[in-house]
Structure 1
Amino acid sequence: MRPWLRIFLIGFVLWAATLVVTEWTSNSNLVPTLVLLGSFLVPVTFVVWAYERGRSAEVTVELLFTAFVVGGVLGVLGASLLESWLLRPSLAVYLGVGLIEEGVKLIALMVVTRKMARRTMRDGLVLGATVGFGFSAFESAGYAFNALFTPTGLSLAQLVETEVLRGVLAPVGHGLWTAIAGGVLFGAGGRLTGRVLLAYLGVSLLHGLWDSMNAIAIALTLLLTGKSWQFDQLRIGRVPEVTETQVHLYTVLDLGGLLVVSVAGLLWLRAIARAAAKR
């Protein structure tokens, strides 16, 4: 059995067992274990998978661990500070989030790999993905922790739903975007060239589109099927009721948009991986 698959299966069994015991005993001391297992399982699995496919003498287990933990934490802390200082509610807020988070992850990647004597595109893909998945794991832990608290008390169901949703989406999120940026960065020898800047702007745009897809789907649904009375309610600051047709259209647009963004990122990653294989 492949190491990545073994890690995933063992981790999933431990997570499921922790969930059952927590629910059965109502022991809140087990909640941190549930949060950490659920948040780190998929990111760690994909890091191991990427390492197996792109094994290199330069990418040691120690460097991989440093990229995941140190790079991930630096990214989360940097993003939190910059977003609190620079972002304000606006139509472009999600683009700002993309620019900040992709920027801090790229800087974190440069920091943890600064002593590498030799850089290849393949190493950049692996280490970029590792930093991205580290960021994703720590961010998901925060979302899961916040989901636990509701106006009516602690909700284990919401915590689990958040972990499952973010786990399913993790492979086409932070890890993918930073892998792309890392591959281009290492392909340029670790220098900030024009191509690296374009890659950074490109993954930031994908990130911003991903985060804003909910709002985009709502806007498109209203644009295509909105009724005059709904717009009248919006003008006076009220949330209008929606029709069943609009609910279905919103769902299609939201999921379809996420699919388009994911496919675009995967095709870009595939092109970089093929270029790396030719070098």
Structure 2
Amino acid sequence: MKLENKKIGRNFFSLIWTGVRRNYDNLDNLDDHIAKRLSDESQDNPVEIHLSRMFSEVFQRHTKDEADRLFIVGTRSTTPSLRKVSSRPVKPWFFSRIFFVLAVSFAMLMLLLFLFKSNKAIPGLIFIGSLAVPFSLMMMFFEINVYQNISVLQVLTTFLVGGILSLLVTMTFYLMLPIRTDVSIESALVVGFVEELAKCVVVILFINSYRLNYIFNGVLIGAAVGAGFSVFESSGYISQYGLMTIFTRSFQAIGTHTIWAAIMGGAIILGKARKKPFTMRDFFTKPKFYIFFLIAVALHTFWDWDIPNTGLNVSIMQEVLDIIIGWFLIYIMIDAGLREVKTLQGQRIIIPKKHRLKKGRSEKNRSKKR
């Protein structure tokens, strides 16, 4: 009986895994299907991008020289010409090393606090705990920016100044709007709209100031502003509600402000005329922008909303669903960014062989049904 139950259990999980794997593989097609609708160029052929391999370099060995080359970018002498920009699928890896260093630092500070009872470790715990995930995500987008036209100094300036400035803009908006302290959908909507609008305004300021014109540029600047916002906001919450808050806030940062602002940064580039600044008119007249802006507001609202008469399990499911949708939109931006590189370079966009086979089979099936 036990053997039969184990066999049934294995078959059940095998069936689930097969379905998950099939749907995950199809994600490569689904995000490209959406991304090519964002392009003003050819609508027929997908960019060759394999999301399942995006993080394949994380666990590979890399030399110090490879890491150094990632940071020697963004200057007049180190920014490559458009012809030399890589249009291959992006495979960031160094961000995982940054996260590892920050995680080890956090663990060491925890030892100082709990093993040696040193309260002097608390400020460090608050800062490193708030910094680890958002900063690592920001550096991932720094790696993904294949144009290499934004320096480390610009990224850090955007992270610090942009993060604080977005909080100042948020507080200014709060003074003008009535914000209630309840957990209703209306209150969550107001908070989501105010905070995303504040970040959006700051991202636009930096994109216009740096005169950026590429989708990957917008995603990076958005991520930098969102990461700064996340770090300083989390530090405030931890100081107010206690150290235990640091664990939930750190986990949640994988799918909140950094991701939402990165989506808006890419949308700002999609919504403006090339080599021209983003204007107030673009804000209201470009569907490619305001649709993504409204989606970011909706994701923030859904995250903050406590559904009445539900418990912790529903709240966790809300957050997981929010993270999945947010990262799917990030994949769309990455896909659209690679499509943009190939279009600007005048390259022919090639359909991967396995996608051609799938497409041929689906067309044959449709013809048989007819």
Q: Structure 2 length normalisation: TM-score? A: 0.60
Q: Does 1:23 align with 2:114?
A: yes
Aligned match for 1:205, one of 298, 304, 309:
298
Say if 1:66 and 1:112, in contact at 8 Å, map to a contact too.
Answer: no
Aligned match for 1:35, one of 108, 112, 126:
126
Code of the aligned partner of 1:163: I
Aligned match for 2:235, one of 141, 144, 168:
141
Query: Unaligned stretches of 5+ in structure 2?
Result: 1-61, 63-92, 273-277, 341-370
More helix by share: 1
Code of the aligned partner of 1:34: L
Say if 1:124 and 1:183, in contact at 8 Å, map to a contact too.
Answer: yes
Structure-2 separation of matches of 1:115 and 1:209: 32
Say if 1:47 and 1:129, in contact at 8 Å, map to a contact too.
Answer: yes
Superposed CA offset, 1:208-250 (max 9, x none): 11111xx21x34x4xxxxxxxxxxxxxxxxxxxxxxxxxxxx3
Distance 1:87 1:132, change over 3 A: same
Counterparts of residues 222-261 of structure 1 (less than 5 Å) = 250-261=311-322
State which structure, 1 or 2, has the greater radius of gyration over its C-alpha atoms: 2
Q: Structure 1 length normalisation: TM-score? A: 0.78
For 1:232, the equivalent position in structure 2 comes to: none
For 1:5, the equivalent position in structure 2 comes to: 96
Say if 2:219 and 2:266, in contact at 8 Å, map to a contact too.
Answer: yes
Structure-2 separation of matches of 1:171 and 1:199: 19
For 2:173, the equivalent position in structure 1 comes to: 82
Distance 1:173 1:61, change over 3 A: same
Counterparts of residues 47-66 of structure 1 (less than 5 Å) = 47-66=138-157
Q: What SS is found at the alignment partner of 2:179? A: coil
Question: How much does 1:272 deviate?
Answer: 2.4
Aligned length, in residue pairs: 236
Question: How much does 1:186 deviate?
Answer: 1.2
Question: How much does 1:120 deviate?
Answer: 0.6
Code of the aligned partner of 2:329: W
Aligned match for 1:194, one of 270, 274, 286:
286
Say if 1:68 and 1:131, in contact at 8 Å, map to a contact too.
Answer: yes
Say if 1:79 and 1:104, in contact at 8 Å, map to a contact too.
Answer: yes
Q: What SS is found at the alignment partner of 2:292? A: helix
Question: How much does 1:88 deviate?
Answer: 3.0
Query: Unaligned stretches of 5+ in structure 1?
Result: 149-158, 222-249
For 2:223, the equivalent position in structure 1 comes to: 129
Q: Which moved more, 1:175-184 or 1:116-125?
A: 116-125
Structure-1 separation of matches of 2:324 and 2:94: 27
Counterparts of residues 265-276 of structure 1 (less than 5 Å) = 265-276=326-337
Question: How much does 1:5 deviate?
Answer: 2.1
Structure-2 separation of matches of 1:118 and 1:175: 19
Q: Which moved more, 1:99-108 or 1:261-270?
A: 261-270
Code of the aligned partner of 2:286: G
Structure-1 separation of matches of 2:318 and 2:216: 29
Code of the aligned partner of 2:250: G
Superposed CA offset, 1:109-151 (max 9, x none): 1222322234111111111111111110111111111123xxx
Say if 1:119 and 1:186, in contact at 8 Å, map to a contact too.
Answer: yes
Code of the aligned partner of 2:122: V
Question: How much does 1:198 deviate?
Answer: 2.6
User: CA RMSD for the aligned pairs?
Assistant: 1.9
For 1:166, the equivalent position in structure 2 comes to: 249
Superposed CA offset, 1:155-206 (max 9, x none): xxxx0x3112111111210111111111010122334243222322221111
Q: What SS is found at the alignment partner of 1:113? A: helix
For 1:242, the equivalent position in structure 2 comes to: none
Say if 1:58 and 1:116, in contact at 8 Å, map to a contact too.
Answer: no
Q: Identical aligned pairs, as a percentage?
A: 25
Code of the aligned partner of 1:40: L
Aligned match for 2:325, one of 250, 254, 264:
264
